[in-house]
Amino acid sequence: MGKISGSRHLKRLAAPESWNIPRKTFKWVVKPNPGPHPIDECIPLQILIRDYLGLAHKAKEVNFILSRGYVKVDCRIVRDRGFPIGLMDVLYIEKLDKSYRILPSSKGLIPHPIPPEEAQFKLRKIVGKSTIKGGHIQLNMHDGYNTIIRVSDPRNPIEDQYRVHDVLKMDIYKPLILDHFKLEKGVHVLITGGRNIGKSGRLVEVVPGSLTSEASAIVEMEDGSKVSTILDYVFPVGYDKPCISLPGG
């Protein structure tokens, strides 16, 4: 009988280049399990704890930490060592009483330490929306989370103020929208991919796409220089200033 699913194993040499792991010391590495983030946009929880944070030396020690429920992702206890950790996820280590937010950098995704007040919310980017029964709006987020915006009149949905590429600041403990950052001129954005990954600045212009090119955005850095990136890599994080702490201040 033929094999239905893909391989359950992953060699280190074939792992995404953004993973901060030694390539030739061992042959195999833990493969991310199906979850909220794709394999090339995540870090397995075991690698994050052992290789990034240095809280363990072996996979057996990581399993011990996880089995005791010492690790929480977005306020939920996770015991799966292959759980995929991705952009804007909030990681909490109970024994250390420390929280981290997964942010992009020039070396890929990294765990960035955050104060306790920042660990109370999460930023989610809208990547899709649809109309469901009753005329209500369902928003699909970049991390697999879905939320429903209930409208009073489907023929005139004035409550529907959300657009694709906007970002919602949401409470991490309950489905509550704390703020809404629209993709518009002047908003502070974080670049999450491409050659300018990890940089932040103000959105200057959005260039519409065509049949031969994707929609792009022009971002002005703090030093006055401007960079161009595709619209999918633009992540609004605030208006006057970022609502989250970023690597390097």
Strand partners for 125: 167
pLDDT at 24 over 90: no
Average pLDDT of every residue of the chain: 91
The pTM of the full predicted model, rounded to 2 decimals, is: 0.90
Output the pLDDT for position 57: 92
108-114 sheet: strands from edge to edge? 76-77, 71-73, 90-93, 98-105, 108-114
Whether 2 has a pLDDT exceeding 80, the answer reads no
The CATH 2.40.50.740 portion of the chain extends over: 120-181
To which H or E segment does residue 202 belong? strand 200-207
pLDDT tens digits for range 174-201: 889 999 999 999 999 999 999 999 999 9
Q: What is the pLDDT of residue 154?
A: 75
Percent of the chain whose pLDDT exceeds 90: 71
* Per-residue confidence (pLDDT) for residue 60, from 0 to 100: 94
What does residue 86 show for φ and ψ, rounded to 5 degrees?
A: -130, -165
Residues of the chain with CATH 3.10.290.10: 10-114
The rounded percent of the chain whose pLDDT value lies above 70 is 97
User: Which residues of the chain are in CATH 2.30.30.30 domains?
Assistant: 188-238
Mean pLDDT of 132-159: 87
Are 142 and 196 in contact, with CB atoms under 8 Å apart?
A: no
Q: Is the dihedral of CA 78, 80, 84, 85 positive or negative?
A: positive
Domain 188-238 fold is SH3 type barrels. (2.30.30)
Q: If pLDDT is split at 50, 70 and 90, which confidence band does 7 have?
A: confident
Kindly give, in sequence order, each residue whose CB lies less than 8 Å from that of residue 149, ignoring residues fewer than 6 positions away: 136, 137, 138, 139, 159, 160, 162
User: Given a cut of 70, is residue 225 above it in pLDDT?
Assistant: yes
Q: Does domain 120-181 have CATH number 3.60.20.10?
A: no
**Amino acid 22: pLDDT:** 87
Indicate the residue type of 104. P
Q: What is the mean pLDDT of residues 220-231?
A: 91
Q: Per residue, what are the HEC states of 118-179?
A: HHHEEEEEEEEEEECHHHCEEEEECCCCEEEECCCCCCCCCCCCCCCCCEEEEECCCCCEEE
Provide the pLDDT for residue 3: 58
Tokens 């952009």 -> residue: 87
- The CATH code that applies to domain 10-114 is 3.10.290.10
* Pick from 61-70, 72-81, 100-109, 151-160: least confident: 151-160
**Tokens representing residue 98 in the block:** 């420390």
pLDDT for residue 155: 75
Least confident of 132-136, 156-160, 183-187, 190-194: 156-160
Query: What is the average per-residue pLDDT within 104-133?
Result: 93
Specify the pLDDT at position 78. 95
Structure confidence at residue 69 (pLDDT)? 93
Overall average pLDDT of the 16-21 stretch: 87
User: Does the structure show a pLDDT above 80 at 47?
Assistant: yes
* CB-CB contact of 177 with 145 (8 Å): no
